[in-house]
Amino acid sequence: MADKKAQLIIEGTAPVELPVLTGTVGPDVIDVRSLTSTGHFTFDPGFMSTASCESKITYIDGDKGILLHRGYPIEQLAEKSDYLETCYLLLNGELPTTEQKAQFVSTIKNHTIVHEQLKTFLNGFRRDAHPMAVMCGIVGALSAFYHDSLDINNPQHREISAHRLIAKMPTIAAMVYKYSMGQPIMYPRNDLSYSENFLHMMFNTPAEIKPISPVLANAMDRIFILHADHEQNASTSTVRLAGSTGANPFACIAAGIAALWGPAHGGANEAVLTMLDEIGDVSNIEKFLAKAKDKNDPFKLMGFGHRVYKNFDPRAKVMKKTCDEVLGELGINDPQLELAMKLEEIALKDPYFAERNLYPNVDFYSGIILKAIGIPTSMFTVIFAMSRTVGWISHWKEMIASGQKIGRPRQLYTGHAQRDLPR
């Protein structure tokens, strides 16, 4: 894996030879681990040029707009797979056989109910709390309810925790929504598929159980697949860093949820809808584009740009197609969608966005579909968190199994040198 060498020449010292590591695909990586023995560190605050780990789960080629999970293109998974099969693939490295799939689905269904006492915990929150605030609290609290799967050095415990998280996230998300609405919490139904069950818990009430639309359930499943993993993004790196300390998986996923909440990451799907509301009308687009380009204005075009994709986001392409299907099926003629399409068209022609390779990302379209399905805006990032849980836990499992050291970055210190107290 390390046939090539890089030489680093630091003025006044002998050249330092560094191994160059080659992955299956993607750019070569200079292994700087030995640099500390020369008394130097590398400096890369936003991880612009830093590979933080070795992984076999997901590969992104940002220039070509390629996203592969365990080698399989996201477009094929979205079209021909389903969320639970994708979960199995991410967790285990290969697609399941028919028997393995049936066993996996049954295992996940076995874990859908959450501890009854969690309702008491939920009752402590204000009903107008942001659902992501409640999610951070409740998912972190799972470690207080499931002590029997907390030994991170036991592979079986790690697997049970992974299954519990994938199974319980929809139940918790729907509980949080029902609580905010003041409606009774709906128990999961294991005769339904993963996405049907989620929609059932979200929208049915004990007074009225309506059948779940297959179109909406399929769209929901596709949204789950498109968000399932995205290699070392901010929230996954947060989960890995928290996990590197030996923290339990529920605490690590709660840390991931917190990192996802920010508008530069998963919070962007909610921010897109808020922004479309703010723009209000096609006639205001130019004014808002000018704000986005103004360096003295903090406004950014939400749902545009990506750290890794400098061509297009392949998830956005599938999401746009799903968006058309859902709106067509529901017969919705959403003026906000029209506004979004016009905004996209004008922004893509604008040299500012073209020069900086700023294209619509997954969050640009997901909010419009979620809105059409009837999911309130404040729940958008919760849906992202639910879907991404499998990615987070797959990376956590991979890291623990590889025995990675605690993550402990260093710094370029620019504060005072040592000095004495003036007394």
CA 29 – CA 23 distance, rounded (Å): 8
Structure letter (DSSP) for residue 49: S
Q: Which long-range contacts (CB under 8 A, 24 or more apart) does 347-353 make?
A: 347/289, 347/301, 347/304, 350/289, 350/293, 352/289, 352/292, 352/293, 353/301, 353/304
Nearest to 38 by CA among 7, 63, 1: 7
User: Tokens representing 401?
Assistant: 């199994």
Question: Binding residue for ligand CMC (CB under 6 A) from 109, 230, 320, 397?
Answer: 230
Question: 29 vs 302, which CB is nearer to ligand CMC?
Answer: 302
Binding mask 181-220 for ligand CMC (x = CB under 6 A): ----------------------------------------
Question: 83 vs 353, which CB is nearer to ligand CMC?
Answer: 353
Least distance (Å) between residue 269 CB and ligand CMC: 8
Residue position matching structure tokens 């330092």? 16
Is 363 one of the binding residues for ligand CMC (CB under 6 A)? yes
Least distance (Å) between residue 47 CB and ligand CMC: 10
Least distance (Å) between residue 53 CB and ligand CMC: 18
SS3 183: coil
Q: Which long-range contacts (CB under 8 A, 24 or more apart) does 1-10 make?
A: 2/31, 4/28, 6/30, 8/35, 10/38, 10/40
Least distance (Å) between residue 413 CB and ligand CMC: 24
Least distance (Å) between residue 256 CB and ligand CMC: 12
CA 242 – CA 396 distance, rounded (Å): 9
Strand partners, 16: 8
User: Total binding residues for ligand CMC by CB under 6 A?
Assistant: 20
Residue number of the CB atom closest to ligand CMC: 305
Q: Determine the interface stretch with ligand CMC among 6-14, 70-78, 259-267, 373-381 (rule: CB under 6 A).
A: 259-267
CB 173 within 8 A of CB 220: no
User: Tokens representing 260?
Assistant: 């996802």
Is 344 one of the binding residues for ligand CMC (CB under 6 A)? no
Is 307 one of the binding residues for ligand CMC (CB under 6 A)? yes
User: Tokens representing 63?
Assistant: 């220039």
Q: Determine the interface stretch with ligand CMC among 149-157, 250-258, 263-271, 397-405 (rule: CB under 6 A).
A: 263-271
Phi/psi for 8 (5° steps) reads: -110, 125
Question: Binding residue for ligand CMC (CB under 6 A) from 162, 362, 368, 390?
Answer: 362
Question: Binding residue for ligand CMC (CB under 6 A) from 361, 381, 387, 389?
Answer: 361
CA 352 – CA 295 distance, rounded (Å): 12
CA 248 – CA 164 distance, rounded (Å): 13
Binding mask 74-113 for ligand CMC (x = CB under 6 A): ----------------------------------------
Would you name the residues annotated as active-site residues? Answer: 306, 363
Least distance (Å) between residue 97 CB and ligand CMC: 32
Binding mask 277-306 for ligand CMC (x = CB under 6 A): ---------------x-------xxxxxxx
Least distance (Å) between residue 65 CB and ligand CMC: 13
Work out the angle at residue 229's Cα, subtended by the Cα atoms of residues 228 and 235, and round it to the nearest 5 degrees: 110
- Straight-line distance from the first to the last Cα atom of the chain, in angstroms, rounded to the nearest whole number: 58
CB 136 within 8 A of CB 258: yes
**Interface residues toward ligand CMC, by CB under 6 A:** 230, 233, 264-266, 268, 292, 300-307, 356, 358, 361-363
